[in-house]
Amino acid sequence: MRRLNGTNVTNLRRLPPTGFQSAPNGKTERVAGAGSDAFEKLVALLDYPMFVVTTHSDGVAAGCLVGFASQTSINPPRFLVGLSTKNHTFRVASGATHLGVHVFGTEHLELVALFGSETGDSVNKFERCSWHPGPAQTPILDDAAAWFAGRILERFSLGDHVGHLLEPEGGSPPQELEHWVSFGDVRHLEPGHEA
């Protein structure tokens, strides 16, 4: 009989960590979906900013609405954009060197909806809006409240999205504090492609 601090530990067994259970064979196994319910409920409450991301390669311009994006480093400055592997913009970006990242005030929801609910597989979005070539000829949307273009340093899988790590190279900061388009503003949109 083993003792630990005066306690008989022969019949004690360790409890499995959160998200796992003890199987009949005595092994620990992951519980399907464990933790994802809490995660999904939390994320459903968030009202994170939405970005319109643009790019070009081989003479094709593309752009889409993106919610999976964030600054990832202060020094050196870095920004991460996740593009769905089902998306037309993802396919164009796979041959691109740069991405344009735009934020919009809520007065431009119609333009944001164009990039969020239409697919470049069937619609040329750039014929329906005003834009100009920016750094590395990246399409820059003229109605954006602020934007930057970044060189793609790395690409890596994030599951059903591919992360594009950007090094900012140029842009236009906001002129004033605005109410930026957020997830709550576009939650109702039917996406051009499912994520």
Q: What does the pLDDT look like over 140-163, one tens digit per residue?
A: 999 999 999 999 999 999 999 999
Q: What is the DSSP letter of 109?
A: H
Q: What does the pLDDT look like over 28-41, one tens digit per residue?
A: 665 555 678 888 88
Of 3.10.580.10, 3.40.50.300, 2.30.110.10, 2.170.190.11, the CATH number of 48-186 is: 2.30.110.10
Helix (H), strand (E) at residue 144: none
CATH 2.30.110.10 boundaries in the chain: 48-186
Sign of the CA dihedral 61, 65, 66, 70?
Answer: positive
pLDDT at position 178 is 77
pLDDT at position 38 is 84
- Two tokens at 125? 């979005």
pLDDT at position 175 is 84
User: Which regions of the chain are under pLDDT 50?
Assistant: 1, 11-12
What are residue 139's DSSP bridge partners? 133
